[in-house]
Structure 1
Amino acid sequence: MKQFVCFLVLSFSFFVPANAQVGGGGAWRTLEPMPSARQEISTAVLNGKIYVIAGFTSTGASTNTVEVYDPTTNSWTSAAPIPILTNHNNAAVAAGKLYTFGGTSNRTFLYNPQNNTWADVAPMNFQHGNTAAVGVIDDKIYVAGGNGGAMTERELEVYDPVANTWTVLVPMNVARNHTSGGVIDDKFYVVGGRGSTNAPTALEVYDPQTNAWTTLAPMPTARSGIGVGVVNGKLWVFGGEIPQIHAEVEVYNPISNSWRRLPDMPTPKHGIWATTIGNKIYIPAGAVVQGLGATNINEVFTVANKTADYDGDGKTDLSVFRAGNWFVLQSLDSSVRAVQFGLSSDTITPGDFDGDNRTDFAVFRNGTWFVLQSSSNTFLAFQFGLSTDKPVAADFDGDARTDIAVYRNGFWFIQG
């Protein structure tokens, strides 16, 4: 059964909260501080909650502390500490299970939320200390870079939770630690870091299908100790250091193999780990000065969903609707695209309904929605609303997909 949310609008105003900063690409908001100040942490999302694991205190002492942030209540709780004191460790959720690994040892721990305990599983082949890059593809955890023992800082291995095994894969092109990464379209991107000449700006991508790395456009700002999130099929890079502390926010678009600069983050930080939920990127804790300087500041960046980005390059495209025809001047290559979809009497309602980071052609007609999905070039038709309603499609729940909604006589109806 389809669900909807109904709101009665009595009055309204538009405002920006005192603790929010709005800039290009999205908006920042300060959240409830973390109970403890830590840096060189790792984080991961389990059941909608963010686990912040281990790291340094402001004096450089390793910890085993685990604190849990609930975005729905803007509050913190504690979870069982991990079995060892560590820092610069790594974390990921695969197949619905939370793991932390590396740092000061090659041990891997699995968290059981039912009884709030940690247990050893298969150890890694390498230590991957001083923060590696981590990505999850098909419920397998990929870990690249870091150092410790006899590592060259190029090592890549993958963990299979079903088999409980780590397998060594082809190494990266660039040696690095204090790095980070993310997954886009089942490919593992690794960016920034230190440990070799090119590491601070280097971007490369691993394809599990070919077991090969490809070098991509370098990041404009050289840095390590960064946080990376993936939203709308793009790589968002925050903060870092080398040699000074950084506040830069830069976004990589894999379609155009290009970077763009956004306004700085409100609190320059390094030793961070970014966590993505929908179109929100959470950055708790970290260090606010070069070297040791742990903080408990907790901030979130909400990525603005661009309208009319039909080619997925992160820029709004000029477009017109005329007699059932759409004409789009694509900013990616300056070509003009013409598509027949809809009737001249329809109300146009474009948006990213299928979540592929491209705007879909869509119209509203007599209470029925028609959507041409850019991901498959197929169309959907479904009824939601009355012929007299006003369509107000938007991303109301922050999952980076456009939601179906109508406005009627002071009420908003949003399809769940």
Structure 2
Amino acid sequence: MNCKMKTIVPVMAVLLASSCTKNLIDKELQPINGTLKAAVATNPLLSYTKLEQTGTLRLSIPRADMGITASNGKIYFAGGTNMQAYVQYTPDTALIITGGHQSIIDIYDTATQTWGQANLSSARTDVSAVTAGSKVLFAGGNLLDTVNIKPGTNPKIKAPRAVATTTVDLYDTNSKQWTVASLSKPRYGMSGAAIGNKAYFAGGVDSAGNYQKIVDVYDATTNQWSTIPLPYGMKYSAAVARGNEIIFVSNIIQILNTINNTWTIHSVTFAYFQTIATLLNDKVCIADRTSHVVGNVNDKTFVEVYTTLSANTSFINLPTPRTGVGLGSIGNKLILAGGGDISDEHQTADIYDDVTHAAVTVPLTSGGAMNMQSVTVGNKLYMAGGRRYPLPTRRVAYPGMIDVFELKP
């Protein structure tokens, strides 16, 4: 399907106040042909050819929909949910809720292979986590309102209500101090990415479900916030940083040039409900992490790919039909983990090699899950959390496992 490119749209930034502390570290970028591009040509991982699963880890509280980011070899697994909500018909018709949204931050030190913990200022899910310089930010989220939910006594079965928040928890890895700031508008389900000392949080929805057309930008050097208009509102979107660009992906591709704050728009071939994306060399690989109980007719055997070489997207074909996948990349490898198809959930992962264009299917030691989330540190990729819908009830369960993959020469 041909994708049309719309006119570049200039935007202005508006400064907002922040309560955060100053960031001192800037990410190294190299000027190439008048623009800033990340130095990837000398990445030694690109010469590594083997990706093997080397073990599993376990979260302190099993959950899904966390905010995950890494800084200085430490991985932060923040917030998320392990809520179960189901209807009980006897003795009274009611919505039964167990579990809930979490405030815990599990911190894994990849060098010492030890765990630490911290807490968000409020329990919430759908948090956007980004590292900018020495600052780790956990922005927005869904607080969840369970008022009027009384197990066993509520015949109307009122569902929990989403409550968006403006809260941003910031951790300074230099001073070891936590501070709290605010987004310009309350929202959850944003996408986030960083270039150097700037973090970008785009889109999301408010408590009423309205899509937000705004990007909040945090400058860790000046300790200031600004906003940029987002051409198209989006929810549960994805963001990747490539050179001087932040590429936001939902049912449309919105590319922000962070040098001059201009936008370029492309279309995608398929409609995505909960978009995930990762950068494989210069390719933006796109998939859908929508969680359905098995039987989804939209299970896919491919990943959509966007490059700057064409206004069109292309596809990477994979061995296994999946929905609700976990997506990640490391070196020349792309991995789709867990998920399910029309018959059952998958306990495997498909690994694609961008050099040989071959794909293999491997078992997951954790047993897999729907909606797993990935983060890469050094030569290891961590695929974490997610949900399962086990038989016979298909009632949601949270395994709380992390599959660890290591890239080797």
Q: TM-score, normalised by structure 1?
A: 0.47
Greater percentage in strand: 2
Larger RCO (CA within 8 A; separation ≥ 6): 2
Larger Rg: 1
